[in-house]
């Protein structure tokens, strides 16, 4: 089924143009990967060669999206091997081939820690929301891949590998941000009080090192370019930045009712931060009472919706991504990690 849909979409793209029936971000990932292979910095190039059409021009001016790459480095780094392989085998480079590969991998890896494996595979692989997202070319599946790895490692108490996987998710797309504080709050309940600080510092250090390995090469290459693309363009607001988009969220409602401009520079990120902190205080108490992977998945979805609901962007594909997190959370084995102070816990330590 996936093969037939993919063939049809690729044929349409070949017939009608590079960005026909494919997400703009997917096209940008393809060009970013190609640019890196050519020795160019993906955060310092323009995308007017692949993103064409009237919607990318306003009053004769280039849309700012053509001069910014809003995704983290792993979005193109992890896709390069798949692109090279598909190019050599089929003479085709299409982001959706890579998305299918990483989605299938995440589903089958996740099936190791779920109950009712066959039902989980059926529901996941036939999830209409995530299938639509994949064949549109939305890249949220790449974050899903690392988050599933993180949860699987957590289930088997491989905390170092879980933290590395979290760092890689953070190095793929900033939509992983809500999971980061929840992850460390979850870990804080798994250690004895006298060892909690030491273990948490260790895991935070591993997370930071992983993140720095991913981002620092591009910071050294061109710090201004990556800072503008990932931070200023997305959060700052103004005529030359990312407008309020999507169809959910408080800013979107305000823009729809013409109470604010879609290009307003109002600092919504301040509201996002305050709301997120208040919600995290409540969620920490919930994790203390129910420190399970199921709870962790549900709280991530809720925190994501709440925090991004006060941000400038809440894209439809975010809900597709969250639906798969909820499916995984519904099937995951709720067997808790060994509790602090027990023989099993001490033996594992």
What is the DSSP code string of 81-111? HHHHHHHHHHS---HHHHHHHHHHHHHHHHG
Structure tokens at 199: 């273990």
User: What pLDDT tens digit does each residue of the chain (349 aa) get?
Assistant: 888 888 888 888 877 766 667 888 888 999 999 999 999 999 999 888 887 765 666 556 677 778 889 999 999 999 999 999 988 988 888 899 999 999 999 999 999 999 899 999 999 999 999 999 999 989 999 999 999 999 999 999 999 999 999 999 999 998 999 999 999 999 988 876 767 788 899 999 999 999 999 999 999 999 999 999 998 888 876 666 777 877 778 888 888 888 888 888 888 889 999 999 999 999 999 999 998 999 999 999 999 999 999 988 888 899 999 999 999 999 998 764 444 444 444 445 4
How far is Cα 160 from Cα 178, in angstroms, rounded to an integer? 20
Q: Are strands 245-246 and 313-314 parallel, antiparallel or unpaired?
A: parallel
Q: What pLDDT does 343 receive?
A: 46
E strand or H helix that includes residue 75? helix 74-77
Give, for 314, the enclosing helix (H) or strand (E).
Answer: strand 313-314
Nearest-angstrom CA–CA distance, 174 and 78: 16
CA distance 81 to 220: 24
Q: Which of 260, 233, 236, 238 is nearest to 249 (CA)?
A: 260
CA dihedral sign, ordered 175, 181, 182, 186:
positive
Per-residue pLDDT, 246: 74
Do residues 29 and 36 lie in contact, with contact meaning Cβ atoms separated by under 8 Å?
Answer: no
Reduced to 3 states, what is the DSSP secondary structure of residue 142? helix
How far apart, in Å, are the Cα atoms of 78 and each of 81, 102, 302? 7, 10, 28
Residue whose C-alpha is closest to residue 147's, from 164, 122, 130: 164
pLDDT of residue 20: 66
Give, in degrees to the nearest 5, the angle at Cα 259 between 257 and 264.
Answer: 120
User: DSSP class of residue 233?
Assistant: I
Helix spans in 171-192 (H): 179-188
Residue keyed to tokens 């919600």: 279
Residue with tokens 């190609």: 34
Q: Which region, left, alpha or beta, applies to residue 238 given φ > 0 means left and ψ of -120 to 50 means alpha?
A: left
């Amino acid at each position: 089924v996936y093969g037939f849909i993919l063939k049809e979409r690729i044929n349409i793209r070949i017939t009608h143009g590079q960005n026909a029936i494919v997400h703009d971000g997917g096209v940008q990932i393809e060009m970013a990967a190609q640019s890196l292979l050519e020795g160019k910095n993906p955060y310092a190039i323009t995308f007017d060669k692949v993103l064409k059409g009237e919607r990318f021009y306003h009053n004769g001016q280039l849309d700012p999206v053509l001069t910014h790459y809003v995704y983290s480095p792993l979005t193109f780094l992890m896709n390069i091997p798949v692109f090279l392989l598909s190019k050599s085998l089929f003479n085709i480079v299409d982001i959706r081939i890579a998305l299918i590969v990483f989605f299938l991998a995440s589903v089958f890896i996740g099936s190791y820690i779920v109950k009712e494996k066959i039902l989980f595979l059926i529901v996941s692989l036939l999830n209409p929301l995530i299938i639509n997202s994949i064949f549109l070319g939305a890249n949220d599946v790449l974050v899903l891949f690392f988050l599933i790895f993180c949860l699987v490692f957590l289930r088997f108490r491989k905390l170092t590998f879980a933290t590395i996987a979290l760092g890689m998710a953070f190095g793929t797309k900033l939509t992983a941000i809500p999971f980061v504080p929840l992850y460390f709050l979850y870990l804080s309940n798994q250690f004895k009080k006298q060892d909690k600080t030491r273990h948490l510092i260790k895991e935070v250090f591993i997370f930071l090192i992983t993140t720095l390995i991913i981002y620092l090469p591009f910071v050294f290459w061109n710090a201004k370019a990556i800072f503008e693309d990932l931070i200023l363009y997305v959060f700052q607001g103004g005529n030359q930045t990312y407008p309020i988009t999507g169809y959910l969220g408080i800013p979107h409602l305000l823009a729809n009712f013409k109470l604010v401009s879609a290009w307003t520079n109002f600092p919504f990120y301040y509201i996002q931060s305050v709301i997120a902190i208040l919600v995290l205080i409540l969620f920490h108490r919930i994790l203390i009472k129910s420190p399970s992977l199921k709870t962790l998945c549900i709280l991530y979805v809720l925190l994501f919706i709440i925090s991004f609901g006060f941000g400038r962007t809440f894209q439809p594909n975010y809900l597709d991504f969250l639906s798969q997190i909820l499916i995984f959370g519904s099937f995951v084995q709720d067997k808790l990690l060994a509790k602090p102070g027990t023989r099993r816990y001490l033996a594992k330590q």
